[in-house]
Structure 1
Amino acid sequence: MNFVEAVAIGAASVAAGAINAVVGSGTLITFPTLVACGFPPVLANVTNNIGLVPGVLSAAYGYRRELRGQRRRLLRFGAASLIGGLTGALLLLQLDSAAFDTVVPVLILAACALVLLQPRLNAWLRKRPERGGADGGVPLWCGVLGTGVYGGYFGAAQGVLLMGLFGSFLRDDLQRLNAAKNVLAAIVNGAAAVVFVAVADVDWAAAAVIAAGSTVGGLLGAKVGRRLPAMALRVVIVVVGVTAATVMIIT
């Protein structure tokens, strides 16, 4: 990683941290950047996951006011996220790297589609009564578990998936649900990172750059993210994601 690549990765990381706090798709910025800098896909995914952990933690901290009164919810779904994140990370390391190279473009394009659909999801969520609902029972817990497996394996747009699940099963303020989403994403990324640190190859220099940039971005996103033009963010995410998927399919 030379100086120019470090600057590019750092800038992408700041953007990813902010996007994760607000939209939940920062991986679609940092992962393609790493691949463009010559990182093999699996190494890029592992390094990216570890680097983004401080960013999602800072985003969760930025939403700490909205987390009040959600301890029971976070403990319940945090367990599912922990199990899912560990499972997804182990799947990434156990499956052949060629399988990852094949499935990632599909996952990226699917994540881009989810990002584009999120405005409709948010509009639907806002129309729902803002009152405490049930805990979603076993179906929601299993949905969070499945999202955790996906997040540990790749992770792009896992926040969008979580918001979709919450909107389907819970009735609460949108910002409170977004705060819970940030905590669960941090648990998934953190669990996967523990596995990767223990047994996988990591580019620690790139991970450090991503960690620093995403931490700054996470705090900025939590503070001013609601004022940013959401559509502009989505356009950037989709353009970068589709370009990365196309390049990976061609090559």
Structure 2
Amino acid sequence: MSVGSVFLLAVAGVASGLAGSIAGLASLFSYPALLAAGLPPVAANVTNTVALFTNTLGTAAGSREELRGQRRRLVRLGLLSAAGGSVGAALLLGTPSSTFEHVVPWLIALGSVLILVREPLRRLADRRPPRDGLRGRLPLILAVLLVGLYGGYFGAAAGVLMLAVLSLAADEPLRVTNAVKNVATGAANVTAAIAYAFLAPVDWRAAAALGLGCLIGSRVGPVVVRRLPEKPLRIAIALAGLGLAVSLWYRTG
């Protein structure tokens, strides 16, 4: 790999860390950069997953204020997401990624729309009688498992989907939901990354360059979120997700 490719991946990593920690769109920059560096699609996918492990470290370090008092919730969501991520990694290792690529743009578009219409959906949910126990938590459990599975399998904009799920499930500031989202999706990513490290064609030089940049960007991202107004940020995240969905749809169409 040339020096120019390493520099490209490091710069893309910084952009990925920022985009991932702010909007859940790390792969918007990292995956195309790996392809541009000459990696084939499957190798780029698994290398991307391994490199984005540093995104979890950076965002967790930068979001300590938002994550204060969230330990039990993080453990619960992390375990669910990790379980889904392990299934997703097993599916990727056993099936061609092309079987899922045509569904990905629609999933990302759905997550983006859900973020846009979060407030009306919340009001609608508040009018329904509350359900206690497992029955009440089952939709969230299933949704987190499925997003974790998607994150372990393909990963592009998994953060947008997780943010949509958590935004509908909790009435809290977006910066808190975003910080929880980063840890939850990170659990799926880490589980898949461990499997890929041993069983998949990871390009370690590319992963190191991308991961170093991502660590820097993801550490700065939570600070940016803390200072931006919530509604414009939520709209920007949703529109960026829709843009990625359209781009992927044209690429796979």
TM class by shorter chain equals 0.7 to 0.9
What TM-score do the two structures reach when normalised by structure 1?
0.83
Which residue does 2:148 correspond to in 1? 148
User: Aligned AA for 2:157?
Assistant: A
Q: How does 1:13-92 map to 2 (within 5 A)?
A: 13-92=13-92
Distance in 2, Cα, partners of 1:211 & 1:89: 19
CA pair 123-12 structure 1, distance change in 2 beyond 3 A: farther
Distance in 1, Cα, partners of 2:122 & 2:196: 38
Secondary structure of 1:172's partner? coil
User: Aligned AA for 1:4?
Assistant: G
Q: Which runs of 5+ in 1 are unaligned?
A: none
Q: Which runs of 5+ in 2 are unaligned?
A: none
- Root-mean-square deviation (Å): 2.9
Which residue does 1:2 correspond to in 2? 2
Distance in 1, Cα, partners of 2:238 & 2:205: 28
* Contact 2:92/2:153 (<8 A) preserved: yes
Number of aligned residue pairs: 242
* Contact 1:12/1:33 (<8 A) preserved: yes
Which residue does 2:100 correspond to in 1? 103
* Contact 2:115/2:164 (<8 A) preserved: no
CA pair 240-160 structure 1, distance change in 2 beyond 3 A: closer
Distance in 2, Cα, partners of 1:200 & 1:104: 19
Using the TM superposition, give the Cα deviation of residue 40 of structure 1 relative to its aligned residue in structure 2, in angstroms.
1.3
User: Aligned AA for 1:78?
Assistant: G
Distance in 2, Cα, partners of 1:238 & 1:154: 17
Which residue does 2:109 correspond to in 1? 113
Distance in 1, Cα, partners of 2:236 & 2:177: 23
Which residue does 1:190 correspond to in 2? 190
Could you tell me the percent identity over the aligned residues?
Answer: 38
Using the TM superposition, give the Cα deviation of residue 111 of structure 1 relative to its aligned residue in structure 2, in angstroms.
5.5
Using the TM superposition, give the Cα deviation of residue 113 of structure 1 relative to its aligned residue in structure 2, in angstroms.
2.4
Using the TM superposition, give the Cα deviation of residue 193 of structure 1 relative to its aligned residue in structure 2, in angstroms.
0.7
CA pair 184-134 structure 1, distance change in 2 beyond 3 A: farther
Distance in 1, Cα, partners of 2:242 & 2:11: 17
